[in-house]
Amino acid sequence: MNTILRLLTVPMALLTVAAQAADKPNIIVIIADDLGYGDVSCNGATELQTPNIDKLAQQGLRFTSGYCSASTCTPTRVSLISGTYAFRIPRSGIAPPNGPAIIKPGTETVASILKRAGYATAVVGKWHMGLGDPAPDWNNELKPGPLEIGFDHCFLLPTTNDRVPQVYVEDHRVRNLDPADPLWVGDKKPAEDHPTGISHRHTLRMDWSHGHNGTIHNGIGRIGFYTGGMKARFRDEDLADEWVKQSNAWIEKHKDGPFFLYFSGHDIHVPRMPHERFQGKTKLGFRGDAVIEFDWCVGEIMKTLDRLKLADNTLIVVCSDNGPVLDDGYKDGAVEKLGDHKPAGPYRGGKYTVFEGGTRIPFVTRWPGRIKPGVSDQIVCTVDLAASLAALTGQSVGEGACLDSFNVLDALLGKEGAKGRDHLLQQDNNGAKLGLRVGDWKLVRMKGSTPSKAKKGKAAKNPPARGQLYDLSKDPGETNDLAAQNTDRLQRMNDLLDKIIADGRSRPAK
């Protein structure tokens, strides 16, 4: 029990210590999709180069224990924006094409906090947290959405690009939608003769390996079905260019700042269809080429900051929404062309798992003059951005909000002696499986495994076997389960995990 209290009170101390003078730098959070820890050259990749991300890492802080909170897209993004672990939020697993807005209007978010601090706020890129209530009304106002939870402006890919529809959403509307050609989106084939990835498989320019055989657009089968909105549809190859164009224009418009941009490109998620100028640029196939394209986007944003002389007054965070996957439903050569590349670096698992490869990600912060360049081993997570950026900008976080977001600002800024998290929960898509890292130890178990009935004292002798236990300091690849040899530690970590679940929050209440 003492250990649990100790573990939970350290972040509270951090919260008070960090009540410092407010700073209002511009803030850009750049989140990649499915980019693994080992997919960038600053984390050891040798089979491809990511010079722009490497440059940020050289000029800023590269985290070796930077995490996202889940091993799929929607839950990580929901928790990044809301500061609450996704397993506490209903229906926060991978959102379907017609899924409603998951984060309800009125919820405190990174965006609403920064808006309160006087920031202009925008999201450009993949949303994938649902739109509308009870479903998106594609031909009318698409709300609630980002604009109802703190963003002033949005330019979105509404779901994820292997799901229908391939249209942009600008603020509350599908861009370029001709009312005479309404957009219909559904999960059933709209007509017997509607061409699909099954009936017209021979026409596809990228074949599917599982799923992704609904409506065909741009020669690629998708999850789900849609008709209409022909003038509104984009080409997959042009997505990255559009994100950069939209972001640069918005930054330019708000150059007098302060501004907060959540840049959420689609690379390197499937279908991997980078622009023609990146195709074939790596030996890893389209997956590698998409990494290069993502790195290019980072470089273009940096160029804009330099041109507008904003770099010194801008905090950049680069991260990813989950670990890597090779075949995620399309035959794009990622498996065959992998060679010696290690997408998850030294870590086990990847997307969909709660092993380290699922959530330990490239994580870099840069703020020239304020962040001393270096490498940090402190544990930080995307779920912490809410409380940390609130602290940076002098905002307090509502008592009932951002329930798992810790103020790790000093660690993000690399302050001397600053500590990150002492523990971190990791989840799979729907939170059925959880990981808990405490210091160098890692527990992996089912969320619902029966809590221990063992009484104090007896636990050490005869604990129920609940989960696997790894010592990351000696075994970063999580191959050697030490649960049987460390029953006390196993018990303590299970107790802490049970408490985090039962308390409904892990950010200490005041």
Sketch the per residue contact string, 32 through 71, with Ca ion: x for CB under 5 A, - otherwise: -xx-------------------------------------
Sketch the per residue contact string, 176 through 215, with ligand NG6: x for CB under 6 A, - otherwise: ----------------------------------xx----
270 belongs to the binding site for ligand NG6 (CB under 6 A): yes
C-alpha–C-alpha distance, residues 343 and 354, integer Å: 16
Angle, vertex CA 63, rays to CA 62 and CA 65, nearest 5? 165
CB 261 within 8 A of CB 251: yes
Nearest residue by C-beta to Ca ion?
73
Q: Encoding tokens for residue 54? A: 């490497």
| Closer residue to ligand NG6 (CB): 54 or 328 | 328
| Closer residue to Ca ion (CB): 148 or 328 | 328
Angle between helices 2-17 and 487-503 in degrees, nearest 10: 50
E strand map for 15-161: 26-32, 61-67, 120-126, 153-157
What, of Ca ion, ligand NG6, none, does residue 242 touch, CB below 5 to 8 Å by kind?
A: none
Region binding ligand NG6 by CB under 6 A among candidate stretches 70-78, 226-234, 252-260, 371-379 = 70-78
Looking only at residues 316 through 345 of this chain, which bind Ca ion when binding is defined by CB under 5 A?
321-322
> Of the candidates 269, 348, 437, 442, which one interacts with ligand NG6 according to CB under 6 A?
269
Looking only at residues 220 through 239 of this chain, which bind ligand NG6 when binding is defined by CB under 6 A?
223
328 belongs to the binding site for ligand NG6 (CB under 6 A): yes
Shortest Å distance, C-beta 417 to ligand NG6: 36
Judge residue 7's burial from the number of C-beta atoms within 10 Å of its C-beta, 0-12 exposed, 13-18 middle, 19 or more buried.
Answer: buried
C-alpha–C-alpha distance, residues 213 and 329, integer Å: 10
Task: Identify the helix (H) or strand (E) that includes residue 446.
Answer: strand 441-446
> Of the candidates 27, 45, 70, 73, which one interacts with Ca ion according to CB under 5 A?
73
Shortest Å distance, C-beta 68 to ligand NG6: 11
C-alpha–C-alpha distance, residues 418 and 380, integer Å: 11
74 belongs to the binding site for Ca ion (CB under 5 A): no
> Of the candidates 43, 72, 84, 427, which one interacts with ligand NG6 according to CB under 6 A?
72
Q: Calculate the alpha carbon distances from 243 to 45, 134, 203, 263 in Å.
A: 25, 28, 29, 8
| Closer residue to ligand NG6 (CB): 167 or 223 | 223
Q: How many residues bind Ca ion (CB under 5 A)?
A: 5
3-state class (DSSP) for residue 9 = helix
Looking only at residues 90 through 129 of this chain, which bind ligand NG6 when binding is defined by CB under 6 A?
94, 128
DSSP β-ladder status, 225-227 and 259-264: unpaired
Shortest Å distance, C-beta 448 to ligand NG6: 22
Shortest Å distance, C-beta 320 to Ca ion: 8
Buried b (16+ CB within 10 A) or exposed e, 143-174: bbbbbbbbbbbbbbbbbbbbbbbbbbbebbbb
| Closer residue to ligand NG6 (CB): 33 or 54 | 33
73 belongs to the binding site for ligand NG6 (CB under 6 A): yes
Q: How many residues bind ligand NG6 (CB under 6 A)?
A: 17
C-alpha–C-alpha distance, residues 56 and 42, integer Å: 10
Angle between helices 385-392 and 73-82 in degrees, nearest 10: 30
Shortest Å distance, C-beta 429 to ligand NG6: 7
3-state class (DSSP) for residue 156 = strand
Give the footprint of Ca ion on this chain (CB under 5 A): 33-34, 73, 321-322
Residues engaged in binding ligand NG6 (CB under 6 A): 33-34, 72-74, 94, 128, 160, 162, 210-211, 223, 269-270, 322, 328-329
